[in-house]
Amino acid sequence: MALKQLDTVAQKINLDPNIHTVLKKPERELTVSVPVLMDDGHTEVFTGHRVQYSSVRGPCKGGIRYHPDVTLDEVKALAAWMTWKCAVVNIPYGGAKGGVRCDPFKMSTEEIRRMTRRYTVMIMPIIGGRRDIPAPDVNTGADTMGWIMDTVSMFEGRTVLDIVTGKPIELGGSLGRREATGRGVMISSLQLLKKLGKDPKDTTIAVQGFGNVGSVGADLLSKEGCKIIAVSDVSGAFYNPKGLDILDMLKYVKTSKNHLLEGYKKDGTEQISNEELLFSDVDVLIPAALENQITDKNADKIKAKFIVEGANGPTTPEAEKILEDKGTIVIPDVLANSGGVIVSYFEWVQDIQAFFWDLDQINASLEKIMINSFDGVWSLSQKEKVDMRMAAYMIAVTKVANALRQRGIFP
């Protein structure tokens, strides 16, 4: 998917074939074995990856995910998308990604902690505050980042705040970081509605995924007056045509098993399948789960007029063609969910300066960058008569290509 998208945009902007050749391959790929002593006394060996796709615009930046389906190809694609994401919102980072193939839901907290520390040591030769700064992703969070920061600090003999972002506030994390990706999805959704002259109070929304991104996005959009009529997570989907009680659902997952919606009950709310959620008759669909959710097998059944991608790569290129033919507007992941990396950048800057901002400053700065980036992509989309993803990629790849051209090929 990632390579196909790059090839398409390269043709559109007449990209220098030599630069295109360079941008098709990651700068560095590291695959490591991660032996972990499990609670029952046996040793399990997990496979971990860290891919640095491009550092021509600055240090590499990207999350770490723990999931049974992690592969090197997936991590490479996600690292490429991080490269374009940082460029489209014009923050001085390149792109990276990491992952460990495991099932964290079948592991204890101590097992995950030991795995995290060992994985950190294995990738330590290539990460650093001026080289590659990890962050949370699927099934990782502030605790995970705190363990990584502590592990590196123990090896260096000093507290290294800028090694990761998404840390706990007490360990140099930034206010607003946890909500940043979901807040960015909210800002992108509202900007789209504004461009089209649509009132949020007359807008229905379905959200696939009720993790960090989906739950925050749903909460903020409901507070803006939008009617969230369907949400889902890995345990199931829930539907209420009159609008779900998002605050009640957030309260439920705080104490539920594995923080899932499974078992949630509320008058007027019924359980539906994930497919039914995707095919809901809504104005806006927000896929905020995993990649490859909207494919050529189901795209023709999507009824939503607009799709705002909270997840990375939820729509395949084949599906996008079907959606385009139907007139569906897609706000791409590299723009819609960039709030997380923007506030990660703010956190990194705060750590380096040892000077921390208040929440109003962070949210105002995030909103300014998101709106400026959205306006730039929207304007190019209208001018060049291309979809929003193509416009975003044209902006991002041009920026990375220009940086590569100006730096030249070493030696």
Handedness of CA 406, 347, 315, 186 (dihedral sign): negative
Identify the three-state secondary structure at position 2: helix
**Best CA proximity match to 314, nearest among 285, 340, 291:** 291
Question: Which alpha helices (H) appear in 72-210, and where do they start and end?
Answer: 72-88, 109-123, 142-156, 177-195
- Examine residue 411 and say whether the peptide bond preceding it is cis (omega within 30 degrees of 0): yes
Q: How far apart, in whole angstroms, are the C-alpha atoms of residue 197 and residue 24? A: 39
Q: How far apart, in whole angstroms, are the C-alpha atoms of residue 256 and residue 263? A: 9
Q: How far apart, in whole angstroms, are the C-alpha atoms of residue 86 and residue 303? A: 31
Query: What pairing do the DSSP bridges indicate for beta strands 204-208 and 227-233?
Result: parallel
Handedness of CA 334, 194, 343, 180 (dihedral sign): negative
Query: What are phi and psi for residue 336, nearest 5 degrees?
Result: -65, -40
Question: Which alpha helices (H) appear in 234-338, and where do they start and end?
Answer: 246-255, 274-278, 317-326, 333-336
Give yes or no for a contact between 1 and 313, defined as CB atoms under 8 angstroms apart.
Answer: yes
- Joined tokens for residue 117: 């520390």
Query: What are phi and psi for residue 301, nearest 5 degrees?
Result: -95, -5
Q: How far apart, in whole angstroms, are the C-alpha atoms of residue 151 and residue 157? A: 10
Give yes or no for a contact between 82 and 345, defined as CB atoms under 8 angstroms apart.
Answer: no
- 97 assigned to active site: yes
Question: Which alpha helices (H) appear in 196-330, and where do they start and end?
Answer: 212-223, 246-255, 274-278, 317-326
The answer for residues whose C-beta is within 8 angstroms of residue 328's C-beta and 6 or more apart is 302, 304, 305, 306, 307
- Joined tokens for residue 228: 């969230």
CA angle 229/186/215 to nearest 5° reads: 55
Which among 97, 167, 227, 399 is annotated as catalytic?
Answer: 97
The residues annotated as belonging to the active site are 97
